[in-house]
Amino acid sequence: MSMPQCLGLTRGGRDCLGTRASRFFHLPRAWGLLSLFCVAAVPTSLRAQEPEQEHPQSESSFHRFQEHDDHEHNAEELLQPASYSTWNPSIGLVLDSLATASGSGSSQADGFELRSVEISFAHRIDQYGWAYIVAAIEDDELELEEAAVLMDELPGNFTLRAGKMLADFGKWNTIHLNEKNFVFEDGVRTAFFGGNLAGTGLELHQKSRLGPLPVRWSLGVHSSFGGESFESAVLADRGLQEFGFTGRMTTQQDFGHSGWLQYGASFFHTGKGFVEKVDTNADGIPDQDFGIGQTTLAVDFTFSDVQDNSHTANTLSLEVWRNQRDVIDLQQRAIGQNANGIWGFYQFDFNHQWAAGVQGAWWQNPQSTAASGWFSGADSGAQQAAFVTCTLSDHNRLRAQISQDHLPRIEPSWTFALQWDVSLGEHRHVLDW
């Protein structure tokens, strides 16, 4: 699979051509399959749900940033079936609608669209663990985003996650885009991973304490991995160099009278897991696969301060990335190229309903030799955005955002977006701290 030549932010998670990865089921089969699944599953769920046991979804800092023990949701709280053998899943549905107007000169992204329909199922297996599935319909295609088993009752505070999952990398990688505090994905993640980094494999987690501080670490190994714009491919002589490895360690502490600070470090590494096709005989047709290695390091900081008396909140999050990726030169040699990126956002909650904030990102082209210096502005991209969020209820949210994107080698463009998210049923994240 060839690597994309346009490594930058594209609206709606599309690649340089405005298309998505090819790992989908085509409609109308996707809509028919989803409808049949919902008809079979929803009546059972509706009979089992009790309003007082619902766990509402909200982007407000009051809901998202809680004490650390609430961030990794316990399956006993999430799923409380009468018996493990009874089909009584927790079901959630999110409709993510978007209206955009762009000044870039292209009308492809303008207009109204149902950006995604996300449906999730979660069910307790037994006393040792539970399973969950997250699927999304985007551009009339059905994609299985996550499907994993999570064993959360292992000795020593260990947890094992197996299947297809959003990798534990940084603070925000395990959060789906419709759950984040802004409309479009940050440019650093898009340039280095092609979107949220997902993998199929195993992740081992452990929660412990370092003095008064809670500490969580994880290690993961994935046989396939990637984002929406590019992903790994299988070579004939597959070995450990074609696998992807992830790791993260994070902690959290009180800050001031009513705030807390979380910070962590993460890594991703593959020796030759990404594949690029190269034209070795100069006939204009790529004819040979080359394994591409990549190592990405990141540190993240998130601060939250909630004022109960005034019903206001401040949220500040920042991530700094360092990336090294192999680039095939004219002599068919893999040369490591360094690139750096930084992104973050600030949000102020005026009350439980209204919030406003800004988002920014800057990154270097990971395939450019001109971008190897730490602060080199050559062949770099930037992103700025301002947004206002109105949370009408725990299941109904509006957001307006104006943003400017300056992609590497492309003229700057601005976009105004109006997002409307509606959620039904239970919608919870497996991991968000």
Residue 134 maps to which CATH number?
2.40.160.10
Residue 179 in any domain: the answer is yes
Tokens at residue 151, please? 């064993």
H or E element in which residue 317 lies: strand 312-328
C-alpha 13/C-alpha 61 separation (Å) is: 25
Report d(CA 258, CA 251) in Å as an integer. 17
Residue 141 confidence (pLDDT) above 70 = yes
- Please determine, for residue 292, whether its predicted confidence score (pLDDT) is greater than 60: yes
pLDDT at 15 over 70: no
Which of 371 and 375 is assigned the larger pLDDT? 375
**Domain-located, residue 432:** no
Cβ atoms of residues 410 and 8 within 8 Å: yes
| 131 band by pLDDT with thresholds 50, 70 and 90 | very high
Mean pLDDT on 422-426:
91
**Cα separation of 190 and 196, whole Å?**
8
Assigned domain for 303 exists: yes
Q: How many domains does the chain have?
A: 1
Q: What are phi and psi of 187, to 5 degrees?
A: -70, -25
Residue 282 lies in domain: 11-425
For 248-267, what is the mean pLDDT?
A: 93
pLDDT of residue 54: 33
Task: Write down the mean pLDDT value for the chain.
Answer: 78
Each residue of 402-419: pLDDT tens digit?
A: 999 988 777 788 999 999
99-108, 286-295, 386-395: least confident range: 99-108
374 in Cβ contact with 389 (< 8 Å): no
Domain annotation covers residue 433: no
Residue pair 254/271 in contact by the 8 Å Cβ criterion? no
pLDDT at 165: 95
Interval 18-28: pLDDT, tens? 334 334 444 44
Residue 142 DSSP one-character state: E
Residue 309: the pLDDT is: 84
| pLDDT score, position 237 | 65
Q: Are 289 and 235 in contact (CB under 8 A)?
A: yes
Rounded to an integer, the average pLDDT of 251-277 is 89
**Window from 228-242, 284-298, 356-370 with minimum mean pLDDT:** 228-242
CA 361 from centroid of its chain's CA atoms:
16
242 within a domain of the structure (yes/no): yes
Q: Left, alpha or beta for 309 (phi > 0: left; psi -120 to 50: alpha)?
A: alpha
More confident residue, 254 or 235: 254
Q: How confident is the model at residue 346 (pLDDT cuts 50, 70, 90)?
A: very high
Per-range mean pLDDT, top range of 220-229, 286-295, 314-323: 314-323
In a domain, 3, yes or no: no
Q: Tell me, what's the pLDDT at 274? A: 81
Q: Tell me if 430 is assigned to some domain.
A: no
Task: Answer yes or no: is pLDDT of 283 > 80.
Answer: no
Least confident among 121-125, 185-189, 369-373: 369-373
Give the H or E element holding residue 345.
strand 334-349
Note if the bond before 4 is cis, omega within 30 degrees.
no
The pLDDT value recorded for residue 66 is 37
Report if residue 281 sits inside a domain: yes
Q: Please tell me the predicted confidence (pLDDT) of residue 139.
A: 84
pLDDT of 368 > 50? The answer is yes
